[in-house]
């Protein structure tokens, strides 16, 4: 009977913690959604000192070079954002020449893609909210209890 009460208490505590984490995540994500509507992308960042960095940002069709310190942000340079290169057209022209996208033959290109291929991960992969995590935990408990 004591074991059952202990398991129920632990389960209830874990449930409360999960609900609280979910509520905190929802509150924080609301603030970031307003900024997500703007067309803004950090292209690159380089530290130039302990508390200073240079950042390249694309915003609304413009590219900005920003100097960022602990107390200020200064625009160092701005220009039109570069037009993205149509990579599939480049890959097709390389294949037409008998070469892969990186200048190697098709067999080498396939081997390179196979080596660097990673299976698509879910957004919650490895999280306590992931169903797969709970399935693995259940399997470990069953194995420990020899069920």
The 3-class SS string of 91-131 reads HHHHHHCCCCCCCCCHHHHHHHHHHHCCCCCCCCCCCCCCH
Could you tell me where the beta strands, DSSP code E, fall in 5-61?
Answer: 40-47, 53-59
Could you give the 3-state DSSP secondary structure of residue 46? strand
Q: How does pLDDT run along the chain (147 residues), one tens digit per residue?
A: 788 888 889 999 999 999 999 888 888 876 655 555 567 888 889 999 888 999 999 888 889 999 999 999 999 999 888 876 666 666 677 677 766 555 555 555 555 555 555 555 666 666 777 788 888 888 888 887 776
Strand order through the sheet with 53-59 = 40-47, 53-59, 62-68, 73-80
Interacting residues of 75 by C-beta distance below 8 A, sequence separation 6+: 64, 65, 66, 67
Asked if 22 contacts 14 with a C-beta cutoff of 8 angstroms, the reply is: no
Q: pTM value?
A: 0.37
> Domain ranges in the chain?
1-37, 38-84, 86-119
């Amino acid at each position: 009977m004591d074991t059952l009460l202990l398991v129920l208490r632990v389960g209830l505590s874990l449930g409360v913690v999960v609900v609280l984490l979910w509520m905190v995540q929802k509150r924080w994500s609301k603030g970031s959604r307003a900024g997500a509507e703007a067309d803004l992308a950090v292209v690159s960042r380089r530290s130039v000192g302990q508390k200073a960095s240079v950042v390249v940002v694309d915003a609304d069709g413009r590219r900005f070079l920003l100097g960022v310190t602990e107390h200020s942000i200064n625009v160092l340079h701005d220009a039109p954002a570069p037009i993205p290169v149509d990579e599939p057209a480049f890959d097709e022209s390389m294949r037409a020449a008998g070469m892969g996208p990186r200048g190697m033959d098709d067999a080498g290109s396939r081997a390179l893609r196979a080596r660097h291929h990673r299976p698509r991960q879910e957004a919650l992969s490895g999280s306590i909210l992931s169903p797969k995590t709970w399935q693995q935990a259940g399997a470990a408990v069953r194995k420990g209890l020899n069920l």
